[in-house]
Amino acid sequence: MCGIVGLFLKDKALEPQLGAMLTEMLITMTDRGPDSAGIAIYGAAGNRAKLTVQSDHPDQDFATLAEDLEASLGAPVTLRANDTHAVLELPADQVEAARAAIADRPGRIRVMSDGDVIEIYKEVGLPRDVAARFDLPAMSGTHGIGHTRMATESAVTTEGAHPFSTGPDQCLVHNGSLSNHNSLRRKLRREGVRIESENDTEVGAAYLTWKMQNGATLGEALEASLTDLDGFFTFVVGTKEGFGVVRDPIACKPAVMAETDQYVAFGSEYRALVNLPGIDAARVWEPEPATVYFWSH
């Protein structure tokens, strides 16, 4: 049992409040997942790529990271630290080289995400504590998704927390369990798809990345997941443009959505949505089984 929240803003006036609204939604889902929590925030695009990284020893591992990457890449790199995470900004054509350089460094720096607009923050702990560590309520953006985890498929670690990102500006949060993740992980790794953990959700994210790398749209990839992924799942997928939702054909995992002129919201339960502005006048519904929903800017 896990908790999922998502918020897609139509009204630009609400963008400074995105982090605060998502944080309140996330904390409401604490009893569905007290082990760890995470959030993906999609902000404004700049002229450089973002690489979000994490370390258990940030004072040591981040101290000279930007300078060392600049020397290795021969390109300007800036670093903005936030507790155990940091956002590196660098030229878009240097992202893969930066990943390789980070992997070769001593210590243990994990890449959480890369892309033009995405930033991912996740850690072990109660959602309220995780949100406070990163000052999530102060973050702004156009849309975001979050997750509170109750571990079933892998250990309670930062690596096992959601969201998982396996492609640029793409991430996935998941409530459920995939039964064929081991065989699919082996297949995807043979195809060259990057998978870092033993978590079944990361395999789901990597599957969607693989389908899109082979020409599928996100909608087509989500449709294909209904056939290729075994188990019970509710997925919320974040992209640069928006987010998508799909539930497996049995749809035993709870989900509710709400839409107004200002936003589209997703929650594992309605109580995650009750404090959103204008919720009393929103169109509220339960997503249909085996049906793909998507909203984009």
pLDDT of residue 154: 64
Split the chain (297 residues) into runs of 10 and give each run's mean pLDDT: 94 98 97 93 92 96 96 96 98 96 91 97 95 97 94 74 94 93 95 90 95 92 94 94 94 96 98 97 97 94
Q: Closest Cα to residue 128, out of 227, 56, 28?
A: 28
Cβ atoms 119, 87 nearer than 8 A: yes
Three-class SS of 59-124: HHHCCCHHHHHHHHHCCCCEEEEECCEEEEEECHHHHHHHHHHHHCCCCCEEEEEEECCEEEEEEE
Q: Which of 196, 200, 141 is nearest to 172 (CA)?
A: 200
Query: Which of 144, 47, 139, 143 is closest to 89 using CA atoms?
Result: 47
d(CA 279, CA 127): 23
C-alpha torsion 132→245→164→167, nearest 10: -130
The answer to whether residue 252 is catalytic is: no
Q: Which of 2, 7, 51, 120 is catalytic?
A: 2
pLDDT tens-digit map of 201-221: 999 999 999 999 999 998 899
According to the model, what pLDDT value does residue 160 have? 79
Q: What is the pTM of this model?
A: 0.95
How confident is the model over 19-34, as pLDDT tens digits? 999 999 999 999 998 9
- For residue 186, the model assigns a pLDDT of 95
In the chain, which residue ranges form alpha helices assigned H by DSSP?
18-28, 58-61, 65-73, 95-103, 127-134, 181-190, 200-213, 218-228
pLDDT at 214: 94
**Nearest alpha-carbon partner for 133 in 124, 146, 144:** 124
